[in-house]
Amino acid sequence: MAELQATAAATEIPEATGASPDAGSDQPAKIAARNVNVFYGTNQALKDIDLDLGGNEVTALIGPSGCGKSTFLRCLNRMNDVIDICRVTGRITLDGEDIYDPRLDVVQLRARVGMVFQKPNPFPKSIYDNIAYGPRIHGVANNKEELEEIVVTSLQRAGLWNEVKDRLNVPGTGLSGGQQQRLCIARAIAVSPEVILMDEPCSALDPIATAKIEELIDELRGNYTIVIVTHNMQQAARVSQRTAFFHLGEMVEADETEAIFTNPKDERTLGYITGRYG
């Protein structure tokens, strides 16, 4: 027992020393954004964003519609690359590695940084194939048994296994909205990413399905770095450890979730969380 505690203490030491001073967290920043600007054509969507996202915790991005929080999220796995007119400047690092480095392969980046979208978007294939697709294209499994194991554990982790174990061959699109979203989460974690980005994952779901997803996010926190965009401030308060408030393309304030909701430093944050605008 004493030995166990000793190793635990030993593993904590490098973490504590490695923590960046401005992260405001005991852990080193998993993702660090510095001077990030995003332009859609001539329209600037994000202005000089500096933000650190800690490992193994949930960071919520909140703010009124059009404030750029989804844009920021999509910068983190370079989903904005698909948009022709989108231009990103600044520096975003994942474990100290610049993700906009032209030598970095975007496919490998996205295998490390998974994403869950606002609207559940399972492939119009079977539940099994939905989960197995990622491991297949990334060569995660060496044989059929390994692949099956990945599918099962992914579904279990996403809390969907008990509901679908008898019908892995039915189309994923035939599930209910909440199940579809958990299927998408299972699909994302099947390739064992380090970071999961969630873009308003519950906005299309009813309260019960939302509660299940939130529970799931809380469980996943131990193994993944999660960044969640949400319009629902209660949700941000419930699931996140840190919260960043975005407004009109600027990152106004980022702090411990509790601090943001109880004692915001900026007036705009206070206005937003008390419902005066947004």
When the beta carbons of 140 and 152 are compared against other proteins, the nearer one is: 140
Q: How far is the CB of 190 from other proteins (least distance, A)?
A: 8
Interface residue with other proteins, options 28, 54, 68, 134 (CB under 8 A) = 134
Taking CB under 8 A as the rule, does residue 39 contact other proteins? no
Please report, as residue ranges, which positions from 234 to 263 form the binding site for other proteins (by CB under 8 A): none
Taking CB under 8 A as the rule, does residue 188 contact other proteins? yes
Taking CB under 8 A as the rule, does residue 191 contact other proteins? yes
Residue type for position 172 = G
Taking CB under 8 A as the rule, does residue 94 contact other proteins? no
Report yes or no: 66 and 246 within 8 Å, Cβ to Cβ.
no
Residue range at the interface with other proteins (CB under 8 A); choices 46-54, 63-71, 89-97, 102-110: 102-110
When the beta carbons of 225 and 257 are compared against other proteins, the nearer one is: 225
Q: What is the b/e burial string over 260-278, where b = at least 16 CB atoms within 10 angstroms of the residue's CB? A: bbeebeeebbeebbeeeeb
When the beta carbons of 30 and 110 are compared against other proteins, the nearer one is: 110
Interface residue with other proteins, options 25, 36, 92, 110 (CB under 8 A) = 110
Q: How far is the CB of 59 from other proteins (least distance, A)?
A: 18
Q: How far is the CB of 233 from other proteins (least distance, A)?
A: 26
Distance, in Å, from the CA atom of 189 to the CA atom of 220, rounded to the nearest integer, reads: 9
Distance, in Å, from the CA atom of 100 to the CA atom of 92, rounded to the nearest integer, reads: 7
Phi, psi (degrees; rounded to nearest 5) at 215: -60, -45
Report yes or no: 90 and 71 within 8 Å, Cβ to Cβ.
no
Residue type for position 188 = A
Per-residue tokens: 244 = 């960043």
Taking CB under 8 A as the rule, does residue 87 contact other proteins? no
Q: How far is the CB of 278 from other proteins (least distance, A)?
A: 26
Residue range at the interface with other proteins (CB under 8 A); choices 13-21, 122-130, 226-234, 258-266: 122-130
Residue type for position 268 = R
Residue type for position 32 = A
| E-assigned strand segments in 110-241 | 113-116, 195-199, 225-229
Taking CB under 8 A as the rule, does residue 220 contact other proteins? no
Q: What is the enclosing helix (H) or strand (E) of 243? A: strand 242-247
Distance, in Å, from the CA atom of 243 to the CA atom of 186, rounded to the nearest integer, reads: 24
Interface residue with other proteins, options 44, 93, 173, 203 (CB under 8 A) = 173
Give bridge partners of residue 61 from the DSSP assignment. Answer: 229, 244
Q: What is the contact surface with other proteins in residues (CB under 8 A)?
A: 77, 79, 82, 84, 107-111, 114-117, 119, 121-124, 133-134, 137-138, 171, 173, 184, 187-188, 191
